[in-house]
Chains A and B, each alone.
Chain A
């Protein structure tokens, strides 16, 4: 029997779900307020973000905050579209959702390495 990709997809979905539950609301509220918080000294904000992204641990943290939610949300969307009876070839949907999440993750890792 062919091995299923589901355990990998589910692990990433689970990790993303946990991350979003523990820091999702705080992160969203923080970036919503960011332009006003940074208004008095935007350059210092740029420097603070730069300091975070210059450190390997900071890069890893930001990578996790992008990659895990990508896999989490696209896994849910993949299964929800099935629940909504969207008729599309399974392979195509898998390519779009998991392939898309992989591609966007790679792009994010590349940007982080550029900094």
Chain B
């Protein structure tokens, strides 16, 4: 009969080592980002209910708790972006006879792309929504 050996591990295993704590912090970015996605969904739902409901949702975004959620979600999104792109060259390995791109270049290109996309999106919203001022 199969009798696998199960290595014992304490539930607080990740607290002792700084690298494990960073790992858990990275995984924890999912929580505020999930709540933020639910907030986006609520905005979409209010939009389906008509203009007044959507304008109510816009006003709701001034709520200090939701601003705090935005702050935490922004920190989480930034930490996620940095750690995610740091891992890209480990997964996206371009090393063939015809094409070889060093991991550093893969990472740099993703970093540049992410900065351009994030700043571009923000500018687009600033222009389209705040541009009339």
Asked if chains A and B come from one complex, the reply is: yes
- Do B58 and A45 touch (CB < 8 A)? yes
User: How many CB-defined contacts (below 8 Å) exist between A and B?
Assistant: 154
Are A24 and B119 closer than 8 Å at their CB atoms?
Answer: no
Q: Which of B34, B70, B80, B114 contacts A70 (CB 8 A)?
A: B34
- Picked from B33, B39, B132, the residue with its CB within 8 Å of the CB of A24 is B33
Across the interface, which residues of B come within 8 angstroms of A22, CB to CB?
81, 113-114, 117-118
Which residues of chain B are near A33, meaning CB under 8 Å?
A: 125-126, 130
Secondary structure call for the B interface: helix
Shortest Cβ distance from residue B21 to the other chain A in the assembled complex, whole angstroms = 12
Residues A46-81 near B (CB distance < 8 A): 46, 48-50, 53, 62, 65-66, 69-70, 72-74, 76-77, 79-80
Size category of the A interface is 35 or more
State the CA gap A18–B51 with chains docked (Å). Answer: 33
The reply to whether B44 and A26 contact each other, CB–CB distance below 8 Å, is no
- Tell me the minimal C-beta distance from A7 to chain B in angstroms: 14
Interface residues in B, total, Cβ within 8 A: 56
Nearest Cβ on chain B to A16's Cβ, whole angstroms: 9
Binding site for B on A (CB under 8 A): 17-18, 20-35, 37-38, 40-46, 48-50, 53, 62, 65-66, 69-70, 72-74, 76-77, 79-80, 83-85, 104, 107-108, 111-112, 114-115
